[in-house]
Amino acid sequence: MPFLRFPQHWIKPLLPRDSRQSHRAATPLELLFDLIFVIAIATAGQQLHHSLVENHIGVGLLNYLMVFFALWWAWVNFSWFASAYDNDDAFYRIMTFVQIIGSLVIAAGIPAVFQHHDFDVIIAGYVIMRMGMVVQWVRVAVDDPGRRSTALRYITGIVAVQFAWVMFHFIPVQWGVMTFLALVVAELAVPVWAEAAAKTPWHPHHIAERYSLLTIIVLGESVVGCYSAITDALSNQLFSIELLFLMVGGLTLMFTMWWAYFDHEIAERLEQKNIAFSWGYGHYFIFVSIAAIGASLSAAVDVVTGQAEISDQLSGWLVAIPLVVYTASLWILHEAHHLHGIKKWLYPLTTIVVLSIPALGFNIGYSVFAMSIVYALRLFFSKCYLAR
């Protein structure tokens, strides 16, 4: 019937992209996906902030790591699939919109996780995102015969794990964490198993850009979270010299973290070396540590203004530990393979200094400022002295 005939450009074959295409960049749809996705990241950061200042640190961090995995893994699968198969037809856009809806459902369910340890809404949103990806893989199985076995493995693996996530609701509470870890392993294993049949043609420069963009977004969200906390303090006339040091130190810390990440070109190495899985999976620790530092800095503002139930020393550890996780992850993924001598061990030596700062007993504002100075000096030393 004529009224059921779609324009040809609405549904095109979902064929593999050219992995060597020049000037491949993130699409407007991918940028929209990231911007909406950051709502969920911001919500998780806010809930972690509240858990920290209320001294519910253990439970808060556990919930945060679990929630962030769901967010990060859904983003990872979308980004790598788009790098290999994005044909930008109407159906592809609609399926991306479905995944955007799923990310908003996840964001809506995050408070329930921190308040009641209830994962039902998050699992519902996660399953929506993952099933949207299944539909895309069905299209690949139909349109790309050379990688049909890969697509079928993705479909089988994703559907099986999503069924297991739905069953997570019925797991006894005492088995919750262990079951979650088992499902995480299953999720991470699906791409390894699927790609063993035939590798998808992802684009190294495109993937490097996508990860860089998310790094910027998470850094920016961390700065916004700190800004909101500082604004609240100023509006309540709680300004102090210590808060000034915390502001300067926090911004310097974020800037040096940004500089360190973007100081190396990774696309060529992704293309030449078989490190896609280790590099891609390893970024979980980079993203989660950046977001955790933002929440910890926001909590530090509350400590300075006397509105938190944690000590200055504990607040200092909450900044220092994720900072060390970030720098260690960055060192392993971007630096250790090509540095030699003192340059190779500069990051590990720096972490020893940073971890010692909270133990000195400074107020949190001065501790954060000291940490930022350490990393600024590390950056200056590696760029200006060791570069010779």
Query: CA-to-CA distance for 302 and 227, rounded, in angstroms?
Result: 12
Q: What pLDDT sits at residue 314?
A: 93
Asked if residue 287 lies in contact with residue 322, where contact means CB atoms within 8 angstroms, the answer is no
Tokens of 51: 């858990």
- Contact (CB, 8 A) for 258 and 219: yes
Handedness of CA 37, 43, 46, 47 (dihedral sign): negative
| Residues contacting 91, CB < 8 A, separation 6+ | 10, 11, 139
Query: Which domains does the chain carry?
Result: 26-201 (no CATH), 205-385 (1.20.1410)
Whole-prediction pTM value?
0.90
Per DSSP, 55 falls in state: T
Measure the CA–CA gap between 79 and 294, rounded to whole angstroms.
24
pLDDT of residue 1: 44
Query: For 168-300, where are the E strands, in sequence order?
Result: none
- Render 333-353 in DSSP notation, one character per residue: IIITTT--HHHHTHHHHHHHH
d(CA 277, CA 70): 18
List, for residues 300-324, the tens digit of each pLDDT value. Answer: 888 988 888 899 999 999 999 999 9
Dist. CA 212–CA 162, nearest whole Å: 29
**Predicted local distance difference test score (pLDDT) of residue 165:** 93
Quote the pLDDT of residue 195.
94
Mean pLDDT by 10 residues, the chain (388 residues): 55 87 89 89 90 92 94 94 92 94 93 90 94 95 94 96 90 87 96 94 93 91 78 75 88 90 81 82 94 91 87 92 92 77 74 89 90 87 60
